[in-house]
Structure 1
């Protein structure tokens, strides 16, 4: 519930659908579990260019993620964004994609956030991606030294 846009009921639904995070080694597996990954459309030499989400995962979890993604990009009454990082990401995606495709991209990013929060057992901290990248590179050089 530390992620902005995820309330009590949504958090319980997502956690119930996931079960234990120890079943998933990478965030990509969790994305596939929820069915938000792209479906493959190819046969022989044909490679389809109209890619949709696979929807092979849990529909209740996907609906909860959809609601959380909508809540994350929503503006509050005072004009402040619920999650300014995801709202910025959504608006960047809107430049070249349709609204629902951009929303699925936000759902994908939310799943990655959920994976990190559940794996590390730490609360979510809203950080600018550039600051996060800088912190990651500094930490990587300290470990390598």
Structure 2
């Protein structure tokens, strides 16, 4: 009997856990004491050119990152239709957590503002967003996210 869990789902869960651990470590590191040890070395400011960046779609998310979220969501739509809203919402969380963790700084942005997921999908793939909301029986994607 097939339990419905694939290797891909296990990988997503593992990446999600790793991403959550990375966020916790980052937040924990922000609270460390950085008092001076008495060293009197001086710092010399240096000028470096900022790297070229892609234009942001929403909340500092690049076009490539936005497309990745849309692709990831689109790939799960059929599964969510089959699983139903209760199990599908868990899948939404895994997709978003994995995307946020793989995208680096976006993880913190999603934690601070879950609606960034809606902003990105409205701008990039409104049809995928609508189908996801319909399949998961939620008014918006942000309301389907738990633990952010």
Normalised to the residue count of structure 2, the TM-score between the two structures is 0.28
Choose between structure 1 and 2: higher helix proportion: 2
| Alignment TM-score, normalising by the size of structure 1 | 0.28
